[in-house]
Structure formats: C-alpha cells, structure tokens
Amino acid sequence: MTRAGAEFESEGGERRRRPGRDLCGIGGLPVDAVCDLLGRARALEDAPHRPEVLRGRTVVCFFGEPSTRTRTSFELAARRLGADVIFFGNDGTTSAAKGESALDAARNLDAMGIDVFVARDRQTGWPQVLCHHLGARVVNAGDGVGEHPTQALADALTILEAFGRSPADGARALAGLRVAICGDIIHGRVAHSNLHLLPRLGAEVVVAGPEGLVDGAELPEGVTLAPSFDDAVVGAHVVMMLRIQRERLARGRDLPDDAAYHARWGLDARRVGLADPHAIVMHPGPMNRGVEIADAVADGPRSRILRQVTHGVAVRMAVLARACDRQGALPEAKR
Ligand code: CP
C-alpha cells in the first residue's frame, strides 16, 4: 500500500495504527463498554475541564456534511480535554476545489500526525474506509444512512437521567421502559444506532413511520413496528421524533406537504397525552418545527431535547478519551 506518512508503517511495511479504539458503529461497543462510557460521561458533567487528559493530542473534525450540534460538541469536548482541534470541511477553502478526493485529503492530514479523525460524511461506511487507510483513530460523527453512535450514547444518557436509572445496571439499565421512535427510520442514522443500543440496555423499542420510510423486515431483533403512530406512543415512556431526511430521499419521491405530514405523523399535545404520564420527548435535531413536532411539545415540560445536546458534550469527551486510550485518565464512572 502506497502511503504518505511512512511513520505509520513498520519496517516490514505493515501499517501500524495509533493506540486507542475506533468507534464506527454502536455494535462495536459491548454493553459493559457502553455503560463505562456513560458512567464516565456522567462524572465528567460534574467537572468538565480536564486539560491533562488529551494534552499533546490532535483531533480533526473531518466533516463532509453540515452540522451544528455534533461538530460543536466534539470541538468543545476535545478542547475541554486539552487536545488541539482542527476543523476540516468541504467549504470551498480546501484543495477539494482543485479535485482532491476526500480520502487523499484525509491521508495527507493523517501524515501530519493526527490522533483522532471525527468523521461525518454522506457516504455510508465512510468511517470504515478511513479506518482501513489511516493511522489515526476514527470516530463516526454520522455516515450517510449508516449510524450516529455518539448521538445514541447521548440519548441513552438522557433517558437514564430522566428516569433516575444507573449505567451500572448494564443490560437492565433501561428495563421496563418503552421507547417509541417515530419518523424516517430508513434514512435515520440516529435511529439505526438507537435501535441497536437501547434494547441492549433493556428497553422495549417500538418504531412507527410513513410507508416507505420504515421497513419492518429490516428491524433488529426485539424491535417491533407499530401499526400506527398512535399505537407506538400509547404507554411510551420516551417518544423520540425524527425528521424526514429529505436530502437522502430518492428524487421524485412523493411525500405529503408539511401540514398533512404533521397531521398524520407529527407529535402534538394530543399524542403526548397517549404516552405514559411521566413520558419524555426527545429529538436529536435539527428539528423541523410544525412538521414532525409541534412547537408546544418541543418547548414543553416533557421535552428533554436540550438535555440531549448537553449530554452530547460529556459523551464525546468520554469517546475521545477512549479513542486515544486515555479512558483511565477520566474520573471513575458515576452511578
Ligand atoms: N444531531 C445531530 O447530528 O445534529 P447536527 O447535524 O447538527 O450535528
């Protein structure tokens, strides 16, 4: 394999990777590793500035798609751990404008000695491609219609907090809780990670969505497809709404207009009333207000949407420390 940055190759030409662990998909994390990350994230929320943990390390946010929450929270997380942070985006200022491929750009940055690539891209499977080619560790920040594992971890932390549960309870941490995930399941990478994570923590997970945007045959074992949105929400402890990923829909795909979609698939006060009396409402963002969620619900007392964002920073700190093999330098997991 021809690579710039021969410092990542042993004398025999075999590629060496930096110490640490990649995070491409949530399935790569055993339950005990998930719970350790969540417990350490909880502890970090009490004392979020730990500049000794990643001092001397460099994190690049390598983003080929727009982002508000994920990019900012990864940058904050890396800085709070003392890392140097570089943003590299397809924004017209890079040599992508001269025809350089994203993979060549990544290899060139890698040759400069990056420790962690935090990667977002429209290409499903992009993090795995980077793992194959780079010496740096790779953390998936959302790949096409694949996964968004750190969002799922932030969501799990939000649910644990809301219901007074402990990550120390592992596979039973969310036992007895019914989670309804509603909207565009097929294109929803947040949904894909949550569908693989929440049942492993003991939650009952049910999905609902418009025809063509959810496929009952593709659901992981133990996840059920509700016959209607109302059926999914009845008795739910968590109602997680997803936007339609219009940028990923096949061209010419017919969808109802926003008002019609809201009437059929939008979370409004009536539907919240079908859920458990202590139910919480979640949405990974960005929200399309008045489409999949009503203003009064997004901003109402059940909403934990901004808590998801807050937890995203601590979770990403724990994930970056793990990526650099520095998890042991974080505070002990908090119950
Ligand atoms: N939740 C999420 O991935 O949001 P951004 O696209 O703004 O990062």
pTM: 0.94
Half-sphere exposure of 174 (CA within 13 A, CB side): 28
Q: What is the pLDDT of residue 322?
A: 97
Supply the residue whose CA is at minimum distance from atom 6 of ligand 1: 67
Test site for ligand 1: of 61, 67, 288, most ligand atoms within 8 A of the Cβ: 67
CA of 284 to the centre of ligand 1 (A): 7
Give the CA-trace dihedral at 132, 135, 136, 139, to 10 degrees.
10
Residues 27-48 pLDDT 10s: 999 999 999 999 999 999 998 8
Residue 14's pLDDT is 53
Q: How far is the CA of 2 from the centre of ligand 1 (A)?
A: 35
**DSSP annotation string for 89-113:** ESSSSSGGGGT--HHHHHHHHHHTT
C-alpha to C-alpha distances, 5 to 131, 136, 298, nearest whole angstrom:
15, 11, 48
Residues contacting ligand 1 via CB (< 6 Å) = 67-70, 142, 148, 151, 284-286
Angstrom distance (rounded) from CA 109 to CA 103: 10
pLDDT recorded at residue 238: 98
Question: pLDDT tens-digit profile of 121-134?
Answer: 999 999 999 999 99
What pLDDT is attached to residue 249? Answer: 73
Closest ligand 1 atom number to CA of residue 73: 8
- Supply the pLDDT for residue 53: 98
Distance of alpha carbon 234 from the chain centroid: 26
Taking the centre of ligand 1 as the mean of its atom positions, its distance from the CA of residue 321, in whole angstroms, is: 21
The predicted pLDDT at position 4 comes to: 36
pLDDT under 70: residue ranges of the chain = 1-15, 250-253
State phi, psi for 87 to the nearest 5 degrees: -100, 130
* 285 in Cβ contact with 292 (< 8 Å): no
